Amino acid sequence: MRVLVVGASGTIGRAVVAELRERHEVVTAGRSSGDVRVDITDKASIRAAFEAAGPIDAVVSAAGKVKFAPFAEMEDADYRIGLADKLMGQVNLVLIGREFIADGGSFTLTTGVLDSDPIRMGSSASMVNGAVNAFVVAAAIEMPRGLRINVVSPGVITEAMPDYAPFFRGFEPVPAARAALAYAKSVEGAQTGQVYRVL
């Protein structure tokens, strides 16, 4: 298969590329690096990335940012960061990507453990992750042309703990390579509408 990995230079993205490259042709994409450039907050950029990538059998998104801050300090604009980026950015990868992806292809999106196990300063991440999960489960029942869609919700990644450990006390970290297996399961398997939790 030819697999487009968006966010390929990130911690999870690198592990996904390493896992999938063993068996497939991987096209990497990112805001500032990769085979193609893409800003998932910009629909024109998403369309241009698909046009540049050529024929694609699967799309993996390991991209999307949110604002982490104390709830008492969060304002409308702070929540809109995650809504525009991690939520609608990934939704638009699907909406636009369905025009380009091969029949029977798949989309795999990314959320995270905060969808069900919140932390202080993570209200935006919890909200967005929950919304992406719900989108995937609902969209799966209406996907055209035999397309599949799943989402991976990993725990805090081991390689990210130097930056995130103070916020995730008591959480057991997940190696990026183990999280990458869930993406491979989504890309290479037959299931759809699944939230793969890697804890």
144 burial level (CB within 10 Å; 0-12, 13-18, 19+): exposed
Residues of the chain with pLDDT under 50: none
- Report how many domains make up the chain: 1
In a domain, 123, yes or no: yes
Q: Is 60 helix (H, G, I), strand (E, B) or coil?
A: strand
Is 124 inside any structural domain? yes
In a domain, 161, yes or no: yes
Q: Domain of 66? A: 2-194
* pLDDT number for residue 83: 98
199: in domain: no
CA proximity to 97, closest of 27, 43, 136: 43
The reply to whether 57 falls in a domain is: yes
For the entire predicted model, the pTM comes to 0.98
CA distance 23 to 20: 6
Task: Output the pLDDT for position 122.
Answer: 98
> Can you give the pLDDT at residue 173?
97
Residue 32: the pLDDT is 96
In a domain, 165, yes or no: yes
Average pLDDT score, the chain: 98
CATH code (residue 172): 3.40.50.720
- Per-residue model confidence (pLDDT) at position 123: 98
Say how many CA atoms lie within 13 Å of 108 toward its Cβ.
32
Q: Could you give the angle at which helices 123-139 and 88-97 cross, rounded to 10 degrees?
A: 20
How high is the pLDDT of residue 60?
Answer: 99
Decide if 35 is inside a domain: yes
Instruction: Give kind and range of the element (H or E) at residue 163.
Output: helix 161-164
Per residue in 4-15, pLDDT tens? 999 999 999 999
**pLDDT single digits (tens) 60-98:** 999 999 999 999 999 999 999 999 999 999 999 999 999
Token pair of 166 as six digits: 């103070």
Report yes or no on 130 lying in a domain. yes
pLDDT of residue 158: 98
Contact present, 157 and 112 (Cβ < 8 Å)? no
